[in-house]
């Protein structure tokens, strides 16, 4: 029997999974990410965790098809990262270093792209080979899957959906330094920003004036019919729906998968996204399906494993 | 010695090329496209032209690696077209039908995507595997190449760059039925439209008031320092430059190739495109190169051949 590991390196924890060659997840666990000292211990810690797991299951290196790794940074074709703020890394030959430490073949991808691959394989995109995934969390992340493979591009920076410019009139800057990025309107943080601006504009009554403002409270208020909250949802839906229509005309997916904390609002999201998406979608893309992400925090380990099993 | 054919089926002529397996073009020629009777004769005519060429060069079918075909329509993965207005086709199993007629393996792609592949192989994108091609002709066409292959998507409708929405306030409709498509501003027709609107706005002096308005006369006037023409070029550059920045954040190419009739204006185009591109490009994409297309009308036959030689 052959196996592989899926490893998702985040700024706080490293999520790890042991998979059978047929894709079944045997066990998943986490270790702490030690970011001090430019993250020098991260890959040795991963290698040590793998060594222990092999011993626990009485597996030999020869039984392991490879280690797939997702990291929060653009990743070059040969598995090199040129700095990751979340991990403390500067230039880091991730593939080379982890192969040296383990004696096992390693493949590396960007964490958001790898999560998209995981959702295609076992989650909201199951059965599709052409997919857009949008993760609406603190920021907006995502990935584009083309013919079953990650669109990673020439710098490993493909699928940076959060930084599509959707408003050329914006005067507040995005974290990336530019202005008008999708992330400024469709992330959890962006929804709070839109809400605060809207609340400050006039005195219109709203449930939101009496609660802590978050993406959750906004969409809860939408469900209760709060007019001001609905205005925010319309604005959110317009920016995201239009951006998705433009993404489709370039990548022609069969499904759009939406994940991240904001997606917990559920189907109400789709009401506002689809309304604007349908206004602008190119006729050849009109049959694209929408789905919620299903794997949650497991998307990364699943997609990392899929890098190996492909 | 092995060979292949590259075939580019247009609404007026079918361009054909015989290539060696190493990519050298042996001969190119054209036949008429007979679009009458729902284009029923088109594929038999192509098959007959290939039969004659084989006889002329004393080649056997066994020497032919395949026939690559570009057609003006979205093409499904199995080589089926669901209607092509330019050719008169309704549902047409292009791959299947041409294989039956010739006894040779056939691969089929969208003409604009295939032309992009040709430019990557032998033209403005030579040496790159991740590329955006934009063709500024009567309309705006294009293609996205990812890892050396065409991004064709789930309906064969990927890379429809001309139908990215770049202006959500537009009230005139695009040929596709939507509003604000890039094609309405950056095609030859679009530039004429912008110019006529600008000329009608006030009485500002301009060379363009005394000449026939075309993309060529506009950019010629820009080169002579005509202020009104420069306003048009700025508008063109803003829409196209911003759209290309958004394309890059999704597809992360190493080169953007610009072709089509409008590109004959030459380097002056890049001045206006790059000015706005650089205002909005995501930091990870800032090193992307710009290049002019080089193959002209041969891009289609080259890209079609490359479908086979890949």
Q: How distant is the Cα of A248 from the closest Cα of chain B, in angstroms?
A: 8
Q: Which positions 260-299 of B are in contact with A (Cβ < 8 Å)?
A: 280, 282-285
Q: What is the DSSP letter of B257?
A: E
| Residue among B158, B246, B254 minimizing CB distance to A154 | B254
Write down the pTM of the prediction.
Answer: 0.95
Cβ distance B285 to B245 under 8 Å? yes
B278 Cα distance to chain centroid: 24
C-alpha closest to that of A265 among A211, A224, A301: A224
Query: CA-to-CA distance for A94 and A40, rounded, in angstroms?
Result: 11
Q: For position B41, what pLDDT does the model report?
A: 98
How many CB atoms are closer than 10 A to CB B150? Answer: 27
Q: What is the DSSP letter of B174?
A: P
Please report which confidence band the pLDDT of residue B1 belongs to, taking 50, 70 and 90 as the band edges: confident
Cβ distance B206 to B200 under 8 Å? no
Bridge partners for A92 per DSSP: A81
- pLDDT tens column, B240-260: 999 999 999 999 999 999 999
Q: Which positions 228-247 of B are in contact with A (Cβ < 8 Å)?
A: 242, 245-247
Q: What tokens appear for A271 in the block?
A: 């009401």
B263 Cα distance to chain centroid: 12
Q: For position B283, what pLDDT does the model report?
A: 92
* DSSP alpha helix (H) spans, chain B: 36-39, 42-56, 94-102, 111-122, 183-186, 188-201, 215-223, 227-251, 267-280, 299-309
* C-beta atoms of A154 and B130 within 8 A: yes
Query: CA-to-CA distance for A60 and B6, rounded, in angstroms?
Result: 50
- pLDDT tens column, B48-85: 999 999 999 999 999 999 999 999 999 999 999 999 98
Mean pLDDT, residues B119-133? 97
Is the pLDDT reported for residue B115 higher than 90? Answer: yes
Cβ neighbors of A255 (< 8 A, separation 6 or more) are A124, A125, A128, A130, A131, A132, A288, A289, A290, A291
Residues of B in contact with A144 (CB under 8 A): 250-251
Q: For position A287, what pLDDT does the model report?
A: 96
- pLDDT tens column, A71-116: 999 999 999 999 998 999 999 999 999 999 999 999 999 999 999 9
Q: For position B125, what pLDDT does the model report?
A: 98
The residue in chain B having the minimum alpha-carbon distance to the alpha carbon of residue A250 is B159
Mean pLDDT, residues B106-134? 97
Q: How distant is the Cα of B3 from the closest Cα of chain A, in angstroms?
A: 28
Mean pLDDT, residues B19-38? 97
* C-beta atoms of B160 and A254 within 8 A: no
Average pLDDT value for chain B: 96
Q: For position B168, what pLDDT does the model report?
A: 93
How many Cα atoms occupy the beta-carbon half-sphere of B150 within 13 Å? 36
The residue in chain B having the minimum alpha-carbon distance to the alpha carbon of residue A159 is B250
A1 Cα distance to chain centroid: 31
Q: What tokens appear for A131 in the block?
A: 């997919």
Element containing residue A219 per DSSP (H, E) = helix A215-223
Q: What tokens appear for A2 in the block?
A: 């052959």
- pLDDT tens column, B75-93: 999 999 999 989 999 999 9
How many CB atoms are closer than 10 A to CB B42? Answer: 27
Q: For position B254, what pLDDT does the model report?
A: 98
Q: Which positions 104-133 of A are in contact with B (Cβ < 8 Å)?
A: 128-130
How many CB atoms are closer than 10 A to CB B125? Answer: 27
Q: For position A1, what pLDDT does the model report?
A: 80
Residues of B in contact with A83 (CB under 8 A): none
Residue spans of chain A under pLDDT 70: none
Residues of B in contact with A164 (CB under 8 A): 246, 249-250
Residues of A in contact with B284 (CB under 8 A): 74, 155, 157, 160
Is the pLDDT reported for residue B121 higher than 90? Answer: yes
Query: CA-to-CA distance for B167 and B145, rounded, in angstroms?
Result: 26
């Amino acid at each position: 029997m052959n196996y592989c590991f899926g490893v998702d390196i985040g700024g706080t924890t490293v999520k790890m999974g042991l998979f059978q060659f047929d894709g079944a997840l045997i066990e998943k666990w986490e270790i702490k990410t030690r970011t001090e000292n430019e993250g020098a211990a991260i890959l040795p810690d991963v290698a040590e965790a793998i060594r222990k797991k092999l011993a626990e299951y009485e597996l030999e290196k020869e039984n392991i098809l490879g280690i797939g790794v997702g990291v929060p940074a653009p990743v070059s074709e040969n598995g090199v990262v040129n700095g990751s703020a979340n991990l403390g890394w500067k230039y880091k030959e991730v593939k080379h270093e982890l192969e040296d430490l383990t004696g096992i073949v390693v493949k590396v991808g960007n964490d958001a792209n790898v999560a998209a691959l995981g959702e295609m394989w076992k989650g909201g995109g199951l059965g599709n080979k052409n997919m857009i995934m949008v993760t609406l969390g603190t920021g907006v992340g995502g990935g584009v899957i083309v013919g079953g493979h990650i669109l990673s591009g020439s710098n490993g920076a493909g699928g940076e959906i959060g930084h599509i410019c959707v408003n050329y009139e914006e005067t507040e800057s995005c974290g990336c330094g530019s202005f008008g990025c999708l992330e400024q309107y469709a992330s959890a943080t962006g929804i709070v920003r839109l809400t605060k601006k809207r609340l400050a504009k006039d005195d219109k009554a709203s449930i939101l004036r009496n609660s802590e403002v978050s993406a959750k409270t906004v969409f809860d208020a939408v469900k209760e019919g709060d007019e001001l909250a609905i205005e925010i949802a319309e604005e959110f839906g317009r920016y995201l729906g239009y951006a998705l229509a433009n993404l489709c005309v370039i990548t022609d997916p069969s499904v759009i998968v939406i994940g991240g904390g904001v997606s917990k609002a559920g189907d109400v999201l789709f009401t506002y996204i689809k309304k604007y998406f349908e206004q602008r979608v190119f006729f050849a893309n009109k049959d694209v399906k929408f789905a919620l992400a299903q794997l949650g925090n497991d998307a990364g380990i699943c997609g990392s494993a899929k890098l190996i099993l492909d």
